Structure formats: C-alpha cells, structure tokens
Amino acid sequence: MIRIGTRRSALALAQAGQVADAIGDAQLVPIATSGDRDAAAGDKSRWVAELEQALLDGSIDIAVHSAKDVPGELADGLVLLAAPARAAAEDVVCGVAALELLPAGARVGTSSLRRMAQLRAAREDLDVVELRGNVDTRLRKLQERERGLDAIVLARAGLQRLGREQDGGGVLDPARFVPAPGQGALALQARRGDADAVAATRRVDDPVTLRCVRAERALARALGASCNTPLGAHARASSDQLVLRAWVGLPDGSAWILDELAGEAEDPEALGARVAERMLATGAADLLAAAETVAS
C-alpha cells in the first residue's frame, strides 16, 4: 500500500483523496504543517517542511502538495515525480459577477500579495485588504460582511475541488491576472530512486501539466522570487511548444512588467530561465527589490 502524505485542511484532504483514488491501494496520512499552525509566519517551506521530513524518515511514500506552495529548492534526496491534470488555473472574484461591477471604494479581500498587486494595478479605486483563513473561512467572512467586505478573490481550482464553484462570481482573465506559479496544479513528491513511488505516480501523471509547472518554477527560481514577490507565471501547451506568460509588480500596483514567450515543450526549464532573463533585462530586479523592501 502506498502511503500518501497531505496537509490536514479540507482542501488538501480533498486534493490528496483524488490522487489516492486514482492510484488505488493507497492510504492518506494527514500531517500538520507549521503553515497550518501559523499561516501568517514564514516562507513557502512552512507548507511542506513536515511532509518532506515524513518522506525522508520513511513514514510516507508520496507527498501531495498544491504546486504553488512548493519552494523552488527541494529537500536533498527528494524530487517532484508527477503532476495530475491541472484544474482551472484562474482566479475568481466572489460576491459579484465581475470585477468591473464593483463600485469605487469597494473592499476586496485576498490572502495573496500577487492578487493584491494585480487588483490594485487593474482598479486603483478599490480598497484591497489582507484576508486570512481557509477557503470556507474566507467565504463565511464575505457572507457575513466581516470587515465590510464587498468581494474576495480566490483560486478557482480550490472552489472546484471543494465542490463550491457555485460560490464564485466572475473568472478573472489570466492574461491580465496572471496566476501564481503552479496554481491549479498538484505536485507529487517522493524520495529520489523510489521505484514503487515512480510506478504509483505514473498512473496519475499528466506530462503536459508537469512541463508547465516546471517552466513556471524555473522562472520563479531564476528571478529569486519569495513569498514577498508579487509574481504570476502561467504556462500552457500550444502545439509542440509551451507558451509562458509572466507578471511581476509592486505591491501597490503602481508598476509592473508583463512578458510572454514560446519555447520547446521538451525543455521547460530553459523557457522559464529565458523569460526571467528578459524580465530582468527590463527592470524586474528593481521591482523585486522594492517589493522585498516594502514587505520588510
């Protein structure tokens, strides 16, 4: 039996459960992470460190992560083996049918620095505020108009996997609101050289999704992105190529860079590195440094 490690949130359990069903003869092993205990503290590793340790000590065989939560550098001895077919990558605004319908001064909540920056870049007249909590908590806060919320922005994939897509309003155009690297995708991690894990993940792997995630992660690594970086990166397949769109900006939305480039599907890391190089050549380093300064 394959032991599948997962965070304990409702969304994480739903995601891992889908993977377990597809693999068959699998057991879920819920694990509390430091991110679950204190979502406001630390970097991306807070969502995966305990799962990676469980892989290293042999208490699980596969870890299922939201791909956007996985840091650019993995723990020694571990690899990303597979990614199931990607769910919707877009963001969705809840509480209104379209972002354009919100009046000036409307209060919009989100937990993502990237979403804050993109919302402010698109609608400087909105009052964009930080909103923490899991999906159910944030939807409840919107329904109860806690903190005077008029709308919130969430990942569409999370609503889909929880069976709550009806709570979404308008889907935000990913060409303008470029999703986070890995958004909508799951990443299956295992010990390097574990033949049983390789065989199990082969049953659920979607090679196109994995290539897209690899391109997006390569871009983030090349830019030196952190949790303080308002960064979007979204790759899609087009014939025998990948097309990677990327966005980086300041938290207040006052400046940003957008780029898109096609490259060979068989070398997604090279495409990610090339887009990062182009963005750095047009001032992305200054935006990244400014964003880090604001966050600190």
Active-site amino acid positions: 69
SS3 of residue 232 by DSSP? strand
Q: What is the 3-state secondary structure (H, E, C) of 65-110?
A: EEHHHCCCCCCCCEEEEECCCCCCCCEEEECCCCHHHCCCCCEEEE
How many angstroms separate the CA atoms of 3 and 205, rounded? Answer: 17
Residue whose tokens read 């620095």: 113
Nearest-angstrom CA–CA distance, 24 and 146: 42
Beta strands (DSSP E) in the chain are 2-6, 26-30, 62-66, 78-82, 91-94, 107-110, 127-130, 151-155, 170-171, 186-191, 231-238, 241-249, 256-264
Kind and range of the H or E element at 217? helix 207-223
Residues 154, 158: Cα–Cα separation, whole Å:
8
